[in-house]
Amino acid sequence: MQISKKQWILVGAGLLAFIFSCIWFIWLPLHPGPLPSRQTMLDAIHDNFIGIEASQIADVIPLDDRHVYVPYISKGGSYGQSFWKWDRYQWKIGAIQEKGTPYIWKLDGNLSSQFIVYHLDPRDEVGMMKVHLIRDRYYQSSEYSQRYTPRAQMAISIPIEERLYGAIPLPSDWIRMMEEEVRISGSGQSSDLFGWMSASSQTRIGWNSYDRQGKETFTEHSVNGSGYGNGELVLQFMSIINESELEDARNP
């Protein structure tokens, strides 16, 4: 059966359309589209998390070209958080938190790209928040080797008085320490939506807060909320650390 010139043209056009579709499909993820409007974000928070009616977007904070942190305020007066990610064709909510409890958002599960995010309730009257990385001292022994790891303790201070929310990159020296722990342990990391653990269970990140007079305080209005997640993001919950758990360099 002889194929006519017209049929060849149709076959060629179909082949070109297929090739361009493949190129478009591959190229599209590299170029995220514009962010949704604030009203669209408010509607999406309500649609994805029944019971929470967001009334105000506090800010829209891009962390890179594919991840955006959006703190919001609900009609009920809670200071919450939403986590957005470009998902091939559109911006989607990956997680929503009713409260502004500090978390570490590990972008795309990448150890070297992590942000401390928080949105504290003004009723808690926090003047400063401190975030601590603590590695407890521990000793390992086997038939052929012994290893002692000394305690490490580092902290950063985040002023809260001027702005109740933020997204702050994890310090580079903290990341180097965690990467070294992963390298030495030789083990993988377990991760889920709201509970990432480092390769060494001896290393942890926590936080505490102080009022405007510098006295340690408890943020009762900013914690213990509910949340939603689609399982695609890695958020590390940070527990509250009391001053009694910290070591003074002069009195270890």
Mean per-residue pLDDT for 226-249?
87
Give me the sign of the Cα torsion angle 105, 107, 112, 115.
negative
What band does 234 get if pLDDT is binned at 50, 70 and 90? Answer: very high
pLDDT reported for residue 110: 83
- Structure tokens that stand for 47 in this block: 């649609």
User: 84-121 pLDDT, tens per residue?
Assistant: 999 988 999 999 999 999 999 999 888 889 999 999 99
Q: Is the pTM of this model over 0.85?
A: no
CA atoms within 13 A on the CB side of 215: 4
Distance separating alpha carbons of residues 67 and 59, to the nearest angstrom: 14
Mean pLDDT of the chain: 83
Strand partners, 169: 115
